[in-house]
Amino acid sequence: MICCVLLASGFGRRFGSNKLLYEVGGKPMAAHALELVKELSTRTAAGHEIRAVVVSQYPEIEAQAERMGMQAVHNPDAAEGIAASVRYGTRAAGDAEWIAFFMADQPDLRADTVREFLCAAVRSGQPMASVMSQGEPGSPTLFHQKFRAELLGLTGDTGGRKIMKRCPEQVFWFEIPESERRDIDERPRPNPVDKSADFG
């Protein structure tokens, strides 16, 4: 089993508002990520079934995840930083052999690309993996169950990449297009009106 954990608890401080509800392509930014992990959960990768978990502090996102048939996990500790989301997601993953972490601000990331990454990573023989583009690391990342305790031990605004930096020889790297790796951290300009969207 591969558990795909969507981390959707960010505050969007650099963005200036809740960027996950900001309209991108006619729908909330988070909707793209929800659709991605939902689509992945209907497939397999390297012989493994895929399950989707969504971790968020936002009721709109949690409700939409549940409407789509995915497990929603509330994160009351979002103010701590990304580590809280990682811990909640890791606990929800249970005894899944692999845990993949996704960010909710990559609207151009494609399910086919992610499935290729997961298949290549599992078959690589390495216990950790990350996408990259032009030498820059990105999301998603993948961890074997052997790192569960370390993932649960993360604190503050530190994610699983801290573990990768400690054990770089155990990381498999997978190249993806830069357009898919790109995340949205700042509000597009010009934009005189805050365009937010709902999940309809």
Looking at residue 42, its pLDDT comes to 95
Looking at residue 153, its pLDDT comes to 97
Burial bucket for residue 188 (CB in 10 Å: 0-12, 13-18, 19+): exposed
Q: What is the mean pLDDT of residues 29-37?
A: 95
Distance CA 121, CA 69 (A): 27
Question: Which pLDDT band, with edges at 50, 70 and 90, does 196 fall under?
Answer: low
pLDDT at 193 exceeding the cut of 50: no
Q: What is the pLDDT of residues 107-121, one digit of tens each?
A: 999 999 999 999 999
Q: What is the mean pLDDT of residues 29-50?
A: 95
The partner residues of 101 in beta bridges, in order of sequence, read: 5, 141
Among residues 1, 27, 21, which one has the least CA distance to residue 9? 21
In the chain, the percentage of residues whose pLDDT exceeds 70 is 90
Looking at residue 26, its pLDDT comes to 86
Mean pLDDT (the chain) is: 91
15 Cβ contact list (under 8 Å, min separation 6): 22, 184, 185, 186, 187
Q: What is the pLDDT of residues 42-86, one digit of tens each?
A: 999 999 999 999 999 999 999 999 999 999 999 999 999 999 999
